[in-house]
Amino acid sequence: MQFQRGSGILLHITSLPSKYGIGDFGPEAYAFVDKLAEAGQKYWQILPINQTGYGDSPYLCLSAFAGNVSLISPEKLVEANFTSGTDRQVPDFGNPVVVSFGTVIEYKNSVLNATFEQFRDTKDQGLIDDFHKFCSENAWWLDDYSLFLALRSENGHTSWNQWPEPIRRRETEALEQARNHHDPAIFSEKFRQYFFFRQWTGLKAYANQKGIKLIGDIPIYVAYDSADVWCNQSKFKLNEDGLPQVVAGVPPDYFSLEGQLWGNPTYDWEQMRGDGFRWWVERVRFNLSLFDIVRLDHFIGFSHAWEVPAGEKTAVNGQWVDIPGVDLFNALRDALGEL
């Protein structure tokens, strides 16, 4: 496709004003779309909206596919006739221009937990059918992600490499037992993801109706403590114990004598080539279904990457490694068409 020239605004959802402590998919998001349209803008660049983990960074997420449930709007839940979770007292979130993530997460969790209980008792067959359709269409990532969160909670939110070995190694019998044991928690997380994407789809449709295209973001790397690495251990450069052999970073330069030690695990590109880069194809396909345009963050990383031995305190002692980016993008074109 040809990228249509036009102007727009970069603004993460969390930066929108809100009485709930964090920008979300509620009325202020729709009002921002209206302002963009009134100003003759064509694009809203949003950056990643995936579920964040430790540090609350959208570039270190628990999944490359799951949405950040803190962005679910209480007002939109009311519109969907869910009120039991939204009629509770809103806490004082402190400074209105700074997100207090701990307070926000605790409040949104309380809202979603109560809303989930109401959802379990719903007699709305259309809603039930839509939920099951969502779960079926997204089972390829949703099942593992929901289990990952349940196991992470059971193990005190420690990293997956510290879980019991059969679970860490994803042995079939251990996983099946875990799914049965954690069925309520898995169901609850699927409910949250369903409403995240339901609200997101509504916002995107409204923006497109107003002539605004949404630009999403795919960070080249994923967090080590993520469902992506746990479920695809052979696709990353890991040791036998599951810990990274090398991590990503940037070499020393004019701006930093020690470079930048990002700490993300790096991909085993030959393993990925072995199945036609399937994980990458599905990741890009999924994001192209969510956004009108997708930006790939740290694009040079598809040509060569700076790898640093795990355990180093700085990024100085790394080396450049060639990346088969041409092969990857050829595989993406073969699977998805012109990019």
Instruction: State which H helix or E strand residue 132 sits in.
Output: helix 125-137
Provide the percentage of residues in the chain whose pLDDT is more than 70: 98
Q: Which of 167, 170, 140 is nearest to 154 (CA)?
A: 167
Residue 83 has pLDDT above 80, yes or no: no
Model confidence at 210: pLDDT above 80: yes
Residue 85: pLDDT band (50, 70, 90) is: low
Separation CA 314–CA 337 (nearest Å): 40
1: pLDDT strictly greater than 60: no
Which bin fits 205, alpha (ψ -120 to 50), beta or left (φ > 0)?
alpha
Q: What is the mean pLDDT of residues 49-64?
A: 93
pLDDT average, residue stretch 50-67: 94
Distance CA 216, CA 47 (A): 5
In whole angstroms, give the CA distance from residue 135 to residue 119.
15
Q: Which residues sit opposite 295 in a β-bridge?
A: 217
Span 144-202, pLDDT tens digits: 999 999 999 999 999 999 999 999 999 999 999 999 999 999 999 999 999 999 999 99
Kindly report the average pLDDT of the chain as a whole number: 95
Let me know: does 64 contact 52? Beta carbons within 8 Å: no
Tens digits of residue pLDDT in 106-146: 999 999 999 999 999 999 999 999 999 999 999 999 999 99
Residue 84 has pLDDT above 70, yes or no: no
Which pLDDT score, from 0 to 100, does residue 86 have?
65
pLDDT band for position 303 (cuts 50, 70, 90):
very high
Q: What pLDDT is recorded for position 39?
A: 98
Give the pLDDT confidence of 316-333 residue by residue, as tens digits. 999 999 999 999 999 999
* pLDDT over threshold 90, residue 54: no
User: Where residue 94 falls among pLDDT bands split at 50, 70, 90?
Assistant: confident
